[in-house]
Structure 1
């Protein structure tokens, strides 16, 4: 038998003593663990009305709805379009406003006084309700800690008339880890926009290290551009998922390389950047980080594609996939002539819902966090117009995704301290922190000048991770300047 080390020996003796005295004499046990107040000693703690009066009750919903609660983590934002982390173990969160400001939030919830990035002088946006133009996307390079590079996607106007979307590379300041270098912008790509809507806006890095760019179909209604529309035209960059290699340029002066396995490299009628096509206006996509134990699902890219008149859809992006628009909307035909073309060969969505449920999908994330184990593997997303939150669960045997009913918990379930059961209606975006916990960003009034944007974090009260299991090791953040502490506002609202 192997020798027992001194620390292990102590733990064994301690557990034996705790078991012995807890079984024989409760008062002796309480003295052993230095609990002078008997109310806090088992089993008294379970029976004390004073200690339990502020705790909620976890109840099973007879309808089978997974009842979730929320915590408020940021507020006072003007149309917050995205929140992301930098993947550098600092656990900072970067929240972007449509106007072009990006703010740094620390782990303690405080916000830094100076923005990480201010592009408000370059970004094309207006205070009009629902204007889709502005600062729309951002992604940190997978090696951000080493190279300080990140990428942004925003609307611009040229000569007071021509509108474009621009994708650029920028770098963090050499003097302040919480500020970007405003003079470091390197334009990677610009695409003309024929209309003010359907601007796309998602940037993300896949597990392959390449940058994925998600563009809208160009706007207006029904993708009326050309014979088949922009989305079905592989020689156009609109209505596409583009994939490029940003780690180097080519002799021609182009600011990126084409990955050697992009699907249409040999097609003379296709742009080499195209990875997938037939999309209308994908609004918010995410990379599945995979099951924390088995890594199942790692690298899948999920997107919400906003519909036209009848259906919203959720897609998983595959190499060379044709997602159907404008031939199809969801599972149904939109353009009959294109829909029945034998060459369409479209990739079907994993889920679609009608406009009786919602009218503008906001793509979400597959939950892979630690704090709420029951949510693991659920793809959670929402709808901008209806304010609904939905979830999909995969049947790994068949590969099919089925809707899982989720709802806000009632007053009893969400009466734990710090929890709320209500949120703003206009769900703009979802987010994932460095630990894999899930958030969403919503506002009361979707205008770039309305400071009502709030960030909410999901919490499942029915099952929590064991104490200490989800503790994260954080690298220090050097802060220059002031910090503003977080002051919640939504918890003051009455629960329903």
Structure 2
């Protein structure tokens, strides 16, 4: 902490020269590979030694709808690997397309190549879901698998401002997929429909409601994550955190639960946006765990609960950021009251980040956060928010705290997580 109580951290640059890197995932297969998606429609494989495979894991640039305009929200937006990727060799992608001049969101399934573990079979694409977009913004763009093994899809409210579609807007209308968190079952789908509906989805019995809906009343959730749970107790495991981008005044972080209504367009953060809807006694919305005004930032980028072992001082903190202000932030839960307390993250001074390979500055446009196989945290940012600019960088978050316990923890963690037969154990405790 600095004298003002700001949490001081340093960074390591992992990769650069990327064009709006929107997502970074791992296969959880012991290979320690990273799969990094660019908004244009490329997905690249970075090996454990930091090198990038020459051929892309996936190239959808001919199909993806995007542009070089700064701030264009369309494009290739997310990729998720099946949680049993070592045996169920499938990947799921979320991207913008134009079909007969109609803009749509497409969620597709690909199968891994039979001859190259670092490439998908491009001919294997199977469309899982398509949703028409009435406007070019608020495309959502998150895919992830929950602890239950189901695929979660987060779709924006359809765009424009104030969710103007219909009497109550799309987000409060359960007869559309827009403004929703969806949950589907893509397991055992080879011989039939591309997905089935989990039997406990919350609105199956409600007339006219889309059966895929898991939660609703969301505006434009950008970056969600599943909590791994405390390494010792398992507490928190499976919780679903999302950043939901605000309208005019507030950005929010939500804990998404089955059947939850997150308030939009009745509410923005804790505040009323549509006063008539806000006062409706049937709203029964779930409030954010945290909301912040636009003097701090204007476009939240959701992050992760830290559950790694290289930075014990950060254990249990929710680390997130803001795309427009470049602010890095954290939330800490009071497990007694359930309240979340805010603390800003600062870059350490030159003296603090003096160790080899550490830096204390970054590009301000924070696009996404990521987690590696060991639970260590990263974020993806760019200096020019355009899908054509090679200004994107991947940063690893590092705690420079110089205490023996942290050093020992790192050495044990590195040895446990990165040892492979026939290779030397490499510990990075010098950075601590």
What range is the shorter-chain TM-score in? over 0.9
CA shift, 1:405, in A, is: 2.8
CA shift, 1:64, in A, is: 1.7
**CA separation in 1, counterparts of 2:34 and 2:190?**
34
CA shift, 1:474, in A, is: 5.9
Matched with 1:470 is 413
**CA separation in 2, counterparts of 1:398 and 1:168?**
41
Matched with 1:162 is 102
Give CA deviations for 1:65-120 in whole Å, capped at 9, x if unaligned.
Answer: 11000000000000000100011111100000000000000111111111111010
Matched with 1:42 is none
SS in 2 for 1:157: strand
**CA separation in 2, counterparts of 1:234 and 1:293?**
39
CA contact (8 A) 1:438 1:457 kept: yes
Change (3 A) 1:474 1:448: farther
Task: Write the mapping of 1:43-442 to structure 2, written as runs, cut at 5 A.
Answer: 61-159=2-100, 161-249=101-189, 254-442=193-381
Matched with 2:426 is none
CA shift, 1:406, in A, is: 1.8
CA contact (8 A) 1:142 1:205 kept: yes
Structure 1's unaligned 5+ residue stretches are 1-59, 477-496
CA shift, 1:250, in A, is: 11
CA contact (8 A) 2:298 2:324 kept: yes
Give CA deviations for 1:356-389 in whole Å, capped at 9, x if unaligned.
Answer: 1100000000001111110110000000000000
CA contact (8 A) 1:284 1:363 kept: yes
CA contact (8 A) 1:373 1:465 kept: no
Structure 2's unaligned 5+ residue stretches are 422-432
Matched with 1:450 is 389
TM-score (norm 1): 0.82
**CA separation in 2, counterparts of 1:474 and 1:412?**
32
Give CA deviations for 1:389-426 in whole Å, capped at 9, x if unaligned.
Answer: 00000000011101023211111111111111100010
Please list every run of at least 4 consecutive aligned residues from structure 1 whose deviation after the TM superposition is greater than 6 angstroms. none
Matched with 1:483 is none
**CA separation in 2, counterparts of 1:435 and 1:351?**
27
**CA separation in 2, counterparts of 1:227 and 1:186?**
35
**CA separation in 1, counterparts of 2:30 and 2:407?**
21
Structure showing the higher helix proportion among its residues: 1
CA shift, 1:232, in A, is: 0.2
**CA separation in 2, counterparts of 1:184 and 1:91?**
25
CA contact (8 A) 1:91 1:474 kept: no
**CA separation in 1, counterparts of 2:123 and 2:158?**
30
SS in 2 for 1:146: coil
CA contact (8 A) 2:328 2:344 kept: no
CA shift, 1:470, in A, is: 1.2
Structure showing the higher strand proportion among its residues: 2
CA contact (8 A) 2:227 2:238 kept: yes
Q: Number of paired residues?
A: 415
Structure number with larger C-alpha Rg: 1
CA contact (8 A) 1:68 1:409 kept: yes
